[in-house]
């Protein structure tokens, strides 16, 4: 995408620097809340977490990894058994198929090791750009930004992007912040999950409130009709 087609940020450089500094100060060394022990487990967790809470994923994965402790075990699994283990996860039918295919692809194309580049990760079944970037920034501390529902909401409320898609929002955030993207992603996720919620945001706890234009992005209620006494 050419520079001419990328929307300009609504914030000044000094405002962006201040927002960045506050997030890094409030969430030093922030990490995902998914429980994992290696890159295989992280990839599975992130795939399961799509449109599902980390809390729910963490309830499911202990039994899952006990049954399938490696890519090799998952590749040989029965899909019906995978579905049974993850049936409380949203979209478990598709996710079970993707997990099985992913494991087989890792064995066939990557000698049983989870790849560590965005392009290679995206070649796996069920792995899009957001999932690939989350794995890379969490496990490899790569300087990439992943845009989930929390990052999308926060970045728009703070007028860091006005893009209509996660992909273009990612481009905006990478362009305005440039460095420490992995830490900022984790910080935005935690901030969006516990403070800048979609419904009933905890504005009294917000440390960037002066930069928020939430009221401008929400539909305002229609004014009540005036009642006149005759």
**All domains in the chain, ordered by first residue:** 3-30+144-212 (1.10.1670.10), 39-139 (1.10.340.30)
pLDDT at 229 over 80: no
Is-catalytic flag, 130?
A: yes
Q: Using pLDDT thresholds of 50, 70 and 90, give the confidence band for residue 18.
A: very high
Burial status of residue 55 (CB atoms within 10 A of its CB: 0-12, 13-18, 19 or more): exposed
Q: Report how far residue 156's alpha carbon sits from residue 159's, in angstroms, rounded to the nearest whole number.
A: 5
The structure tokens listed for 182 are 């992995």
pLDDT tens per residue, range 161-201: 999 999 999 999 999 999 999 999 999 999 999 999 999 99
Is-catalytic flag, 148?
A: yes
pLDDT at 4 over 70: no
Transcribe 2-28 into DSSP letters: -GGGSPPPSS-HHHHHHHHHHHHHHST
pLDDT at 230 over 90: no
Phi, psi of 18 (to 5 degrees): -70, -45
Q: Choosing from 8, 13, 20, 130, which is the catalytic residue?
A: 130
Q: Choosing from 148, 172, 219, 220, which is the catalytic residue?
A: 148
User: pLDDT exceeding 70 applies to what percent of the chain?
Assistant: 89
Sequence-ordered alpha helix ranges (H) in the chain: 13-26, 39-49, 54-67, 71-75, 79-85, 92-109, 118-122, 129-139, 149-157, 166-177, 181-194, 214-217
Structure confidence at residue 213 (pLDDT):
80
Q: What's the pTM?
A: 0.86
């Amino acid at each position: 995408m050419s520079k001419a087609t990328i929307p300009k940020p609504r914030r000044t450089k000094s405002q962006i620097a201040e927002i960045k500094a506050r997030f890094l100060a409030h969430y030093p060394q922030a990490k995902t809340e998914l429980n994992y022990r290696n890159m295989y487990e992280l990839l599975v967790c992130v795939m399961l977490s799509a449109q599902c809470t980390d809390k729910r994923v963490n309830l499911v994965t202990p039994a899952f990894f006990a049954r399938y402790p490696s890519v090799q075990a998952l590749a040989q699994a029965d899909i019906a058994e995978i579905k049974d283990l993850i049936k409380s996860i949203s979209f478990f039918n598709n996710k079970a198929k993707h997990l099985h295919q992913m494991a087989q692809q890792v064995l066939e194309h990557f000698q049983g090791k989870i790849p560590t580049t965005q392009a290679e990760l995206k070649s796996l079944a069920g792995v899009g750009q957001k999932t690939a970037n989350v794995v890379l920034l969490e496990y490899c501390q790569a300087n990439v930004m992943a845009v989930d529902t929390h990052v999308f909401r926060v970045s728009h409320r703070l007028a860091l992007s006005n893009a209509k898609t996660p992909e273009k929002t990612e481009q905006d955030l990478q362009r305005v912040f440039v460095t420490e993207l992995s830490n900022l992603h984790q910080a935005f996720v935690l901030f969006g999950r516990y403070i800048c919620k979609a419904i009933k945001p905890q504005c009294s706890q917000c440390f960037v409130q002066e930069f928020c234009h939430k009221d401008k992005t929400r539909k305002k209620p229609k004014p009540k009709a005036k009642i006149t006494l005759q």
